[in-house]
Amino acid sequence: MSASPDAPPLQMIVIGAGVVGLSAALALQERGLSVLVLDREGPAAGASAGNAGAFAFTDILPLASPGILKKAPKWLLDPLGPLSVPPGYALQIAPWMFRFWRACSPAQVAASTVAQTALMDLSKAELEPFLARAGALGMLRKDGNLQVYESQAEFDAGLEGWKARADHGIEFRHMRPEEMAEIQPGLNPRFTHGTFTPGWFSIADPKLYVLALAERFRAQGGAIKIAEALALKPLEEGVEIALSGGEALRAERVVLAAGAHAHLLAQSLGERIPLETERGYNTTLPSDAFDLRRQITFGGHGFVITRLSTGIRVGGAVELGGLKRPPNFKRSEAMLRKARDFLPGLKTEGGTQWMGFRPSLPDSLPAIGFSKAAPRVIHAFGHGHLGLTQSAGTARLVADLATGAAPALDLTPFSPQRF
């Protein structure tokens, strides 16, 4: 392996050492390829570190849907609520929001649900063998998710979505408060209904998981270089990556897995991909903050509470505020205040706040496929709320593409050129 432009190129460079990039790097190694991972900060620097740790395989319905359009006006009224657009960013994000709105049509929702289900099924099938090979099976938890509702009306409004999930073979059980109290004592009685999904798994801690993937990758001979990629250039038999500092790297193929920043590098190839970020916030409390038995989703409030091996994480929310504004941690505080009300025994002292950039495309599907401008570049980004969930499936697909194998599923709905 060499960084010099005159040396023979590496077989693969993966840009981005988040959960998507490192999962792909391991899958490429397993196919016998030499792989370098490039990240400007090192493993687990982005959204993959601070997410809620869920393998939300049952979350097959796209976010872009008529349901969200109904909730959005009310949510937008509360500046610290589940959805916000800072006024200074509204104009910039308007084209993305227009595309999002268009993706809410019944035909597009149906098509996205079929595509998302296929990627979820693949990701679920790949996950345990992948974790076993990565030596991380011990970090997997299968304790399900409890979504809670505050009224009959809120519960009824979700029934259509549950029917759609049932149509796609997803298991769930609606619960009354007595049953909810059995699987999660200490919930505020304001929650009158719940739905338990057993097929929703989680990871002990998302950051430790990505660091474990990095460790396994290195142990198998992979190299991780800390440097910023500035631009990509197609070559006759490969791709050149210009780095900050003037250096350049060459590889036969490149995987672009730079999360919410990936479109900036695609742009250097002349490709315009409407990637935006849905900024999310959380607070991680000490482990003894609450006797949490499994992840709980407060759907009407746009956040979850999760039990990790390293603490209790309260977070979610969507802020359509771009990549440059400083975090507004009043959002983390607002969710924590609500969480204390929803779980009256929750101890809210001693937490650590975090903000991360979900990489989001307007139709709620990721971009997985060859770049049009540079067919030796494989795009693997835009997983929005589901990057951890879909990481093992995406890794399988990237390895299929890189080795010329038939992809494990039809990639048309995920085409980077679909916009």
Ligand X SMILES: Cc1cc2nc3c(=O)[nH]c(=O)nc-3n(C[C@H](O)[C@H](O)[C@H](O)COP(=O)(O)OP(=O)(O)OC[C@H]3O[C@@H](n4cnc5c(N)ncnc54)[C@H](O)[C@@H]3O)c2cc1C
Interface residues with ligand X (CB under 6 A) are 15-21, 38-41, 45-48, 51-54, 56, 228-229, 257-261, 265, 280, 282, 315-316, 356, 358-359, 381, 383-389
Which of 82, 87, 153, 105 lies closest to 299, judged by CA?
A: 82
| Minimum distance, C-beta of residue 46 to ligand X, in the bound complex (Å) | 2
Measured CA to CA, the distance from residue 61 to residue 42 in angstroms comes to 33
How far apart are CB 343 and ligand X at their closest, in Å? Answer: 18
Task: Compute the Cα dihedral for 152, 147, 118, 66 and give only its sign.
Answer: positive
Residue 55 Cβ vs ligand X, minimum distance, rounded to whole Å = 7
Going by C-alpha positions, the residue among 115, 30, 16 that lies closest to residue 396 is 30
Measure the CA–CA gap between 175 and 155, rounded to whole angstroms.
Answer: 11
CB of 280 to ligand X, least distance (A): 3
Please report how close the Cβ of residue 306 comes to ligand X at its closest, in angstroms.
Answer: 7
Smallest gap from residue 152 Cβ to ligand X (A): 28
Residue 176: CB minimum distance to ligand X, A: 27
**Which residues 6+ apart lie within 8 Å of 8 measured at CB?**
2
Whose Cβ is closer to ligand X: residue 113's or residue 306's? Answer: 306
Q: Which residues contact 165 (CB under 8 A, 6 or more apart)?
A: 58, 60, 61, 172
Written as six digits, the tokens of 57 are 């395989």
- Whichever of 41 and 156 has its CB closer to ligand X, that residue is 41
- Residue 283: CB minimum distance to ligand X, A: 11
Closest to ligand X by CB, 376 or 385: 385
d(Cα 266, Cα 289) in Å, to the nearest integer?
A: 43
In angstroms and rounded to an integer, the radius of gyration of the C-alpha atoms of the chain is 21
- Of the pair 86, 177, the CB lying nearest ligand X is at 86
> Toward ligand X, which CB reaches closer, 14 or 289?
14
- Closest listed residue to residue 116, CA positions, set 375, 368, 407, 374: 368
**Could you tell me if residue 102 is left (phi over 0), alpha (psi between -120 and 50 degrees) or otherwise beta?**
alpha
Identify which of residues 117 and 389 has a Cβ nearer to ligand X in the complex.
Answer: 389
How far apart are alpha carbons 8 and 4 in whole angstroms?
8
Q: Smaller CB distance to ligand X: residue 51 or 184?
A: 51
In the complex with ligand X, the residue whose CB is nearer, 177 or 387, is 387
Distance (Å, rounded) from C-alpha 313 to C-alpha 316? 10
